[in-house]
Amino acid sequence: MTTQAFVDPDEIRARFSRAMSDMYKAEVPLYGALLELVADINQRTLANDPALAEQLRQTGEIERLDQERHGAIRVGTAQELATLRRLFAVMGMYPVGYYDLSEAGVPVHSTAFRAIHEASLQKSPFRVFTSLLRLELIEDEALRQKAADILARRIIFTSRALELIARSETDGGLSEEDATAFICEALETFRWHGEATVSAEVYQQLHDQHRLIADIVAFKGPHINHLTPRTLDIDAIQQSMPLRGITPKAVIEGPPPRRCPVLLRQTSFKALQEHVSFIDAQGHAVAGSHTARFGEIEQRGVALTPKGRALYDRLLSTTRTHAPSESNAQAYMQALSNVFADLPDDYELLRKQGLAYFRYFVTAQGLAARNEAPMDLETLISAGYVAYEPLVYEDFLPVSAAGIFQSNLGDHTQAYYAQASSKDRFEQDLGALVLDELALYADTQARSLDVCADQLGITLL
Ligand code: OOG
Ligand code: NI
């Protein structure tokens, strides 16, 4: 087989992302309502803000906006995580970043599978936040063993999916026919199954340890638990949700509202109570319920450099002396806005102070001055030969993720874990190193400068 016959992994990812969205829309109709709300508000925002529309046209984000979404799943074993890594690789998705959620009382650690090159991100920015249960945090030894045994018995991939992953690895890609089959088979892993694999009693034991443990251990597979579209105005979304009968969480996670958005802001609606069936000792189905799946919306802003991120983390922790709730939501948002006055709300300042990443573009004026342009970036910018746009943040935020997890777990489930998490251990289980997201942003920024130098026919100083 020749390489030409292979479907581009970016194309497989784009198709898979669409298939996932269609599946989730059928499973959770409220997700469809959320998509409509986001599409309405995005359209309105673009119509009212021509500068923003122009910025998104320049970076190409305007074309990916409607198909932009992330999902989240939780798995139980190293084997499951490692196989997921191989499955995502077929679609050009790689593990980026390490998130430790145990500090927030959630017994998992996580990574995000996503495309890593700006050209691939442009074709499909689909990401999956993927968490691995830290079984060792179950204190009761008998229960820990029981959970391990239950997990060891299940296979979350279809045999055809496993075959196709192996074929893609051996041959270096998938043919059109195989790619279509792969999407269909891979989708099965993320499908919701109303039938638990355990009795109501075992479910309750797992649930008493932590609701998340029941969600991960008691079912056939890692059902997608939310799918999140990207909005251009999350404050408008937060206000509009109740008008459509959707109740949002108390506060928007992440930075406060700004003229120049940074990183990521997220809000969600509470998890739905769903009918499930447990199995009794005779193997009969017993009706019950489970709460796991929810809806989320996010707004993405510019990626921060290590210096900018350190400032963000400091400002956030200054405000977040205790977790925001319904009762102090307004005061929290006000305090957040006050404290964040220290992070310049201006792209030029963010750039000059080395706080954020940007993509640089040669202007028409610059092209006209080819071979005669000055070689210093700041001079090129002030002469109008080079323009820049914010580089969008493609990742997640641990404190926000913890807030999203918590808002779906109920208030009484806050747990404290003394055992430290370990990135090394996660990577061992994953079977690969996680990529450093900051290096990826720096690479994209550097590539955009290379293109500028090339188009201007100069060596940038
Ligand atoms: C993942 C929660 C984190 C986000 O967007 O930060 C997350 C989960 O509940 O499994 O999705
Ligand atoms: Ni999410």
Pocket test for ligand 1, best of 210, 226, 395 (most atoms within 8 A of CB): 226
Distance CA 404, CA 267 (A): 8
Nearest residue CA, atom 11 of ligand 1? 72
Q: Quick one: which ligand is closest to 295's CA?
A: 2
Q: Are strands 358-362 and 386-390 parallel, antiparallel or unpaired?
A: antiparallel
The pLDDT-based confidence of 461 (bands split at 50, 70, 90) is confident
Report percent pLDDT > 90 for the chain: 72
Nearest atom in ligand 1 to the alpha carbon of residue 129 is 11
Confidence of residue 183 (pLDDT cuts 50, 70, 90): very high
Atom of ligand 1 at shortest range from CA of 228: 5
Counting ligands in written order, the one closest to the CA of 227 is: 2
Closest residue (by CA) to atom 5 of ligand 1? 401
Is the CB–ligand 1 distance for residue 407 below 6 Å?
A: no
Top-confidence residue, 103 or 428: 428
Name the token pair of 104. 């927030």
Q: For a pLDDT cut of 70, what percent of the chain falls above it? A: 97
Query: What is the C-alpha separation between 91 and 15, in angstroms, rounded?
Result: 10
pTM comes to 0.94
- Across the range 360-368, mean pLDDT stands at 95
CA of 1 to the centre of ligand 2 (A): 39
Q: Determine which residue's CA is closest to atom 6 belonging to ligand 1.
A: 401
The one-letter amino acid code at 26 reads A
Which atom of ligand 1 is the closest one to the Cα of 396? 6
Determine the distance separating the centroid of ligand 2 and the alpha carbon of 159, expressed in angstroms.
29
Task: Tell me, using a 6 A CB cutoff, whether residue 205 lines ligand 1.
Answer: no
User: pLDDT tens for residues 152-179?
Assistant: 999 999 999 999 999 999 999 999 999 9
Residue minimizing CA distance to atom 7 of ligand 1: 401
114 neighbors 124 (Cβ within 8 angstroms):
no
Q: What is the pLDDT of residues 188-239, one digit of tens each?
A: 999 998 999 999 999 999 999 888 899 999 999 999 999 999 999 999 999 9
> Is 268 touching ligand 1 by the criterion CB < 6 Å?
no
Report pLDDT for 30. Answer: 86
Q: What's the average model confidence in pLDDT over 415-422?
A: 73
Q: How confident is the model at residue 29 (pLDDT cuts 50, 70, 90)?
A: confident
Q: So where are the chain's domains? A: 3-346+397-417, 357-390+431-461
Give residue 375 CA to ligand 2 midpoint distance, Å: 43
Please say if the pLDDT value at position 110 is more than 80.
yes
pLDDT interval class at 4 (50, 70, 90): low
Residue 206: CB partners within 8 Å, gap ≥ 6?
Answer: 143, 147, 198, 213, 214, 217, 218
CB-CB contact of 404 with 296 (8 Å): yes
Confidence of residue 409 (pLDDT cuts 50, 70, 90): low
Span 304-347, pLDDT tens digits = 999 999 999 999 998 887 677 888 888 888 989 999 999 999 99
Nearest atom in ligand 1 to 266's CA:
5
For the Cβ of 130 lying below 6 angstroms from any atom of ligand 1, the answer is no
Q: Does residue 12's CB lie within 6 angstroms of at least one atom of ligand 1?
A: no
Q: What pLDDT, on the 0 to 100 scale, is given for residue 413?
A: 52
Query: Is any atom of ligand 1 closer than 6 Å to the C-beta of 72?
Result: yes
pLDDT of residue 137: 86
The pLDDT value recorded for residue 68 is 83
CATH 3.10.180.80 fits 3-346+397-417, yes or no: yes
Alpha carbon nearest to ligand 1 atom 4, residue: 401
Mean pLDDT of 26-52: 91
Residue holding tokens 């039938």? 195
Q: Are 289 and 260 in contact (CB under 8 A)?
A: no
Query: Any idea what the Cα angle at residue 421 is, between residues 420 and 425, rounded to 5°?
Result: 130
| Residue owning the nearest CA to atom 1 of ligand 1 | 72
Ligand 2 centroid to residue 165 C-alpha, Å: 26
Measured from the CA of 72, which atom of ligand 1 is nearest?
Answer: 10
